[in-house]
Amino acid sequence: MEKNFTSRRIFIADSAKTIFGISAGLAGAGSLLQAACVSSPSAGGVFKTGFTQEPLPYAYNALEKSIDALTMEIHYSKHAAAYASNLQAAAKDEKVDTNEPLEKVLGSISRYSAKMRNNGGGHYNHELFWKTMAPDGGGAPTGKLLKAIESSFNSFDSFKTQFTDAGKNRFGSGWAWLFIDGDKKLRIGSTPNQDNPLMDISDIKGFPVMGLDVWEHAYYLRYQNKRPDYINAWWNVVNWKYVQGRYESQ
Ligand code: MN
């Protein structure tokens, strides 16, 4: 697992050069990132999170149909960057080995400080969030994930309604989640602040397949108080290939 974690980080670093270089288009680099996450023979090991920000897998304006470029830029380079840097400070103070995946800390987060909980969750949630969106996203999942969604929530439409409601009804700041619980069942839920289902203190526990940021900073510039409009638009950029890869890794 450690070997895969390390080689993924090297691969991502190489992809980042491609993204910000002039030799390849953004779409091509995005596909490489997606392939790295989906096609690994040990998929469970590849979905591990480090303590530093990975490059955004697309340009700030790439999701413009749903999320405007300025929101993306502030969200990634200010909000998410602060979670990463505060997490690194907390890890140093609390003697966490940052060569180990962040998931290990989150699973026993009750043993750490509030700073670790807020910023470890914040960093993990955003690293996941960027990957679960793509400029050519939207539509519906296929294969095993679609079957599991239909079995757990009756239909894809009913799933969308329930997930949308989880985001709409989360009071204040937080996240909506699609996750796999301890009985390997797909479930929908939400968490406050930057908590997530990996945390031992969370009311909902399991493996996060997909998360939606419903903090106001994620949508306020374009959508103001209309969170449901943001969520409805967000469905048009969901990267189902990546989400399916996460589901199938479990
Ligand atoms: Mn956010």
Dihedral-angle region of residue 67 (phi above 0 means left; psi in -120 to 50 means alpha; beta otherwise): beta
Query: Binning pLDDT at 50, 70 and 90, where does residue 46 land?
Result: confident
* C-alpha of residue 79 to centroid of ligand 1, in Å: 6
Number of alpha helices (DSSP H) and beta strands (DSSP E) in the chain: 12, 3
* C-alpha of residue 72 to centroid of ligand 1, in Å: 10
Model pLDDT for residues 162-210, shown as the tens digit of each residue: 999 999 999 999 999 999 999 999 999 999 999 999 999 999 999 999 9
Any idea how long the chain is? 250
* C-alpha of residue 10 to centroid of ligand 1, in Å: 26
* C-alpha of residue 125 to centroid of ligand 1, in Å: 8
* Confidence (pLDDT) at 41: 33
* C-alpha of residue 194 to centroid of ligand 1, in Å: 9
Query: CB of 232 within 8 A of CB of 164?
Result: yes
Greater pLDDT, 17 or 90: 90
* C-alpha of residue 3 to centroid of ligand 1, in Å: 30
Q: Where in the chain is the domain with CATH 3.55.40.20?
A: 68-250
Model pLDDT for residues 145-168, shown as the tens digit of each residue: 999 999 999 999 999 999 999 999
* C-alpha of residue 13 to centroid of ligand 1, in Å: 23
Is it the case that residue 104 has pLDDT exceeding 70?
yes
* C-alpha of residue 217 to centroid of ligand 1, in Å: 6
Q: Which two tokens stand for residue 243?
A: 């989400």
The fourth-level CATH superfamily of domain 68-250 is: Iron/manganese superoxide dismutase, C-terminal domain (3.55.40.20)
* Confidence (pLDDT) at 45: 59
CA–CA separation, 223 vs 83, rounded Å? 24
Mean pLDDT of the chain: 87
* C-alpha of residue 213 to centroid of ligand 1, in Å: 6
Model pLDDT for residues 219-231, shown as the tens digit of each residue: 999 999 999 999 9
Is it the case that residue 135 has pLDDT exceeding 90?
yes
Return the closest-CA partner of residue 101 out of 170, 171, 50.
50
* C-alpha of residue 139 to centroid of ligand 1, in Å: 23
Q: Which residues of 74-99 are buried (b: 16+ CB within 10 A; e: fewer)?
A: bbbeeebbebbebbbebbeeeebeee
* C-alpha of residue 173 to centroid of ligand 1, in Å: 9
